[in-house]
Amino acid sequence: MSETKKIIPAKTGRLRRRSGGWRLVKILVPSLLLVAVAMALYVAYLDRIIRHKFDGKRWALPAVVYARPLELYPGLIFTAPMLAAELQLAGYRQDKAAKDPGGYDLAGNVVRLSTRDFAFADGVEQSARITVEFSGAAVKKIARTDTGAELALARIDPARIGSFHPLENEDRVVYKREELPELLVKTLIAVEDQHFYTHFGVDPLGILRAMFANLRAGKTVQGGSTLTQQLVKNFFLNNERTLYRKFNELIMALLLEAHYSKDEILTAYANEIFLGQDRGRAVHGFGLASQFYFRRELKDLSAAQLAMLVGMIKGPSYYDPRREPERCLHRRQVVLDVMRSEGVISDELYGTAKAAGMEKGEMVQSGFNRYPAFLDLVRRQLGEEYREEDLTSNGLKILTTLDPQVQTQVEKQLQETIAALEKRTGVTGLEGAVIVSSREGGEIQAVAGGREAMQSGFNRALDAHRPIGSLIKPVVYLTALNNGYTLATPVDDIVLTVSAAGAKDWRPANYDKKEHGVVPFYEALAHSYNLSTVRVGMDVGVEKVVENIGRMGIRSDFQPYPSFLLGTAELSPLEVARMYQVFATGGFYQPQRVISSVLTLENKVVQRFGLSVEQRFSPESIFLLNTALQRVVREGTAKGLARMIPESVHAAGKTGTTDELRDSWFAGYTGDRLAVVWIGCDDNRPTKLTGASGAMVVWGKIMGSLHPQPLELTEPEGVEWARINPDSYGYSEEASRADVVLPFATGTIPAGAERPSPASGGEPQEGKGPEFWNTIRDWFQ
């Protein structure tokens, strides 16, 4: 059977091919339209991202925290090395000429410096060149360097001690376009993007040149990204090396150029570019980099210094001048060559810049973020007034009360003394905390949250709530003075048993396990007798003692158990300082201050934290108590302080020790400062230390290093003096009562006491206290 072939007409074949082509078109056209729509939507999405961030607040500017300003005047106890150290902390640089702001020169007992402009709450302090002469441990003379005119006071811009960052922990000093030095702008364009003002965000010719250069070299030696692309990568994207990221970069660069001017893009680049790392914070922008690397304002940088910064754009870590000075120097010279070849600098300036040495490689310790415990307290107090967003994005300027000189001594003495105590006792893992404030104003000058001051984490000064032991006793005795007792009242220091329904009998004991018989009221406090304290407290009522500690600003729900009288209450060092501040100020309660004022980014005052006081205890009873607390130091448990501070200081204070020697405390004050010290173990192990052998040693060394002013108690009206009758008490091995003169509220001098005659010296103190508190008292009278 023959095979038959079906013949298809040619026309029919063409029709089938044509119908297949139409089907392909029908598929491709919608697909292409879909891709175009998706692409348009995606571009619109990227456009919205760009405009939202670029039109709004471009950077989350952290709140910047400053120490107190240093005010110098003739007679101030201050030395030339102390001034040099504080200037370095504030970011000043050593400069023989000391002509430009932020420079200083130390020569023997003379310091020449040029201060920087700074906006305080009361206005802008203009930059000035001054010369400070010292004589011994005091300022002798202050004068203008240029005219020689003497100054009564010089206020130096404060050290920047920290900032509150959002999560990315970036930092920058933002500049406007007109504030950018033209030499920097021309250098940036010459080195990074020579066609910046002519391209549209992407430079195709530049990309081709970079490709050929890299192919010839066999490695990446040249980049083709424009300044706009670099800004997009740093501002909107990340450093992933993917085609997707590069595609986004190209599109966003075109969009950025379409919406914003070249000057806006250039300014944003200068403020955004990453230029290094300062411990925990990223250094962004040329403004902050100039301060970080050179301790100068951007406008004061030389051609060589600007060349170094521009050269570091290629790799801030790779060209780090402190870790890789040779590599950084080579890169700087390359940039200088480009600057000359492109006509940015003259041959003469090129020669000067190329011959300039590199900045010193050592890292000078600044105050930035090195006081974590103090900054923790600042943040907590600000948190009561401001939202977290305000603190981490609005660029607030926080002026605080931190005194770097006091803080330095606190850190030094705490660390060194704890190390010595560990060696002496064999107890390891000792920790400590310190609070120092001004006596009159309550401004907190220093905080140590642990023996390692720069370690952040658990802040013992604020959060370690420990039994305070005998630090509670002044509250007990103050309560008694307000309820019929005098400093001369005989009290029994004899064993007693306290019984309470549903509880075991409590038999307190003295630290020395002895009874001391009938003793004067003041002596029971001076020698910290437990038995007499419990008797006094039980007599006046534990509830009244608890009420009084609440009047001192301690907000805790204490139960009025008898053991409360011997310090079972758990307080932080900050709370103890608040309590003792009431004693130190003559019965006034005032909130502790760590912030003096808050300014906006534009230097407008938002808030001032002024002095707020309230009289909560009578001046007479506080004066009597302070007289007894001075006796604690003169003849009682704190008499060992005489080895560390002069007796002429007349300090007042109280030791504190808890059961099994688990906590060592000391709280006290001189004429100018109050300080609280705690030493213990975080795991509550015994320390083998009493308050006198541990915390008091730290306190004494801190105060001794700060040239303490004498404590001259302000004697109120209604106080008279009398010599007590020693026959009213039992025999004492620890104290002679033969010639003890004490103050009494008018009408309370006990029978048998003798008023001192003028010939015998009269009253031991004549009430020559600070006029400040006399004025405050007048407000309430």
Active site residues: 192, 470
* CA pair distance 131, 137, nearest whole angstrom: 17
Residue whose C-alpha is closest to residue 406's, from 68, 694, 94, 720: 68
Instruction: For CA atoms 553, 557, 562, 567, give the dihedral sign.
Output: negative
* CA pair distance 594, 621, nearest whole angstrom: 29
Residue whose C-alpha is closest to residue 54's, from 222, 288, 260, 248: 260
- Three-state SS for 299? helix
CB 297 within 8 A of CB 286: no
- Three-state SS for 770? coil
Residue whose C-alpha is closest to residue 680's, from 663, 697, 656, 655: 663
Query: What is the DSSP pairing of strand 118-120 with strand 123-125?
Result: antiparallel
CA atoms within 13 A on the CB side of 556: 17
* CA pair distance 147, 638, nearest whole angstrom: 52
Phi (first) and psi of residue 722, to 5 degrees:
-155, 150
- Cα 558 from chain centre: 32
* CA pair distance 248, 265, nearest whole angstrom: 17
Phi-psi region of 246 (alpha: psi -120 to 50; beta: other; left: phi over 0): alpha
CB 115 within 8 A of CB 101: yes
SS (H, E, C) 287-298: HHHHHHHHCCCH
Q: Token pair for residue 18?
A: 């044509």
* CA pair distance 491, 514, nearest whole angstrom: 15
Per 3-state DSSP, the chain is made up of helix, strand and coil in percentages (nearest 5) of: 40, 20, 40
- Give the neighbor-by-neighbor strand order of the sheet with 444-448: 444-448, 430-438, 673-681, 663-669, 652-657
* CA pair distance 452, 432, nearest whole angstrom: 9
Residue 355 CB neighbour total at 10 angstroms: 8
* CA pair distance 173, 267, nearest whole angstrom: 12
CB 305 within 8 A of CB 321: no
Sequential DSSP letters for 165-220: --TT-EEE----GGGS-HHHHHHHHHHH-TTTTTSSS--HHHHHHHHHHHHHHTS-
